Amino acid sequence: MWMPMLRIGQLAAKTGFTPKTLRCYEGLGLVRPDARSESGYRLYGDTALERLQFASRARSLGLRLDDIRRILEISDEGRLP
């Protein structure tokens, strides 16, 4: 499912995370913007939404952020975690 690029506040509203949490997750490497707008706003697409949905489910199962980051890194390499 394709969705238009979202700014951080729009992505926060769609996922239930706060913008502050999204910036923290970006710093940890869990999610990254797909682009920047001309005025410098972070823009997120489908991949960010999928990663955040995964992170939310993983957190609800008790996984630590470091574990989630590692799983996403392995997936990014094209391997199965």
pTM for the whole thing?
Answer: 0.85
Q: Is the pLDDT of residue 23 over 60?
A: yes
Tens digit of each residue's pLDDT (9 = 90 or more) over 38-80: 999 999 999 999 999 999 999 999 999 999 999 999 999 988 8
What kind and span of H or E run contains 65? helix 65-76
Which amino acid is located at 48 in the chain?
A: A
What is the set of domains in the chain, with CATH numbers?
A: 6-76 (1.10.1660.10)
